[in-house]
Amino acid sequence: MHYIMFYIFATIAIISSIRVITARNPVHSVLFLILVFCNVAGLFLLLGAEFLAMVLIIVYAGAVAVLFLFVVMMLDINIVPLREGFLSYLPIGGLIGMILLVELVMVTAGWVIPTGNLLATTTHDLPNTAALTNTEELGKVLYTRYVYQFQTAGIALLVAMIGAILLTLRSRSGVRRQSVTRQLVRTKANSLELKKVQTRGGV
């Protein structure tokens, strides 16, 4: 049953990833990307990495991909002008694709699975790893051995978020905006006025 589920998840993930780059509508591309995340989460569950599966669904499919979808829908990208020069870039694009394919084949051909204890070779510097859960082991690895790479990834996501905000920020005339400087320089004299109201006289 595990082999059947693996091939189902892997096949759908590969087909969806191809549709991400071949779909004509960018909204459809983002939806296929969400489908890829869901199937990869299923593969993580088969491997016993339930924490990574849940993070992939909650963070990537539930937040990042939906953010991409909102940005694409708000920008209202016109696809026709973008596809006009597709044939002119096809030769160099095909060349780059072939180079990447050769590199992937070389990496896959040179990859050898170690015959020893994989857990002992990857977590040799972590004490009492057998008593830790999957989440605790992942946290120890991320925040000890790979802490700089983890922080770099966070900075990259922060830059991407700022870029998305700048792309969707629009300046409109006639819209009242907050002025922090004017708020800070306000005093009691120029912002508060006391009036003595006569009884039964109204304001």
Task: Note the pLDDT of residue 155.
Answer: 93
pTM: 0.52
Answer whether residue 69 shows pLDDT above 70.
yes
Domain ranges of the chain: 1-77, 87-111, 124-165
Instruction: Average the pLDDT over 73-99 and give the result.
Output: 71
Q: Tell whether domain 1-77 is in CATH 3.40.50.1260.
A: no
> Which tokens is 71 given?
């940005």
> Which tokens is 158 given?
């922060």
Looking at every residue in the chain, the average pLDDT score rounds to 78
pLDDT tens figures, 101-139? 888 788 777 665 555 554 444 444 545 555 667 778 888
Per DSSP, the chain holds a count of helices (H) and strands (E) of 11, 0
Answer whether residue 55 shows pLDDT above 70.
yes
CB-based contact 141:123 (threshold 8 Å): yes
Please tell me the distance from the alpha carbon of residue 134 to that of residue 54, in angstroms, as a whole number. Answer: 12
pLDDT tens figures, 172-194? 777 777 788 888 888 888 778 87
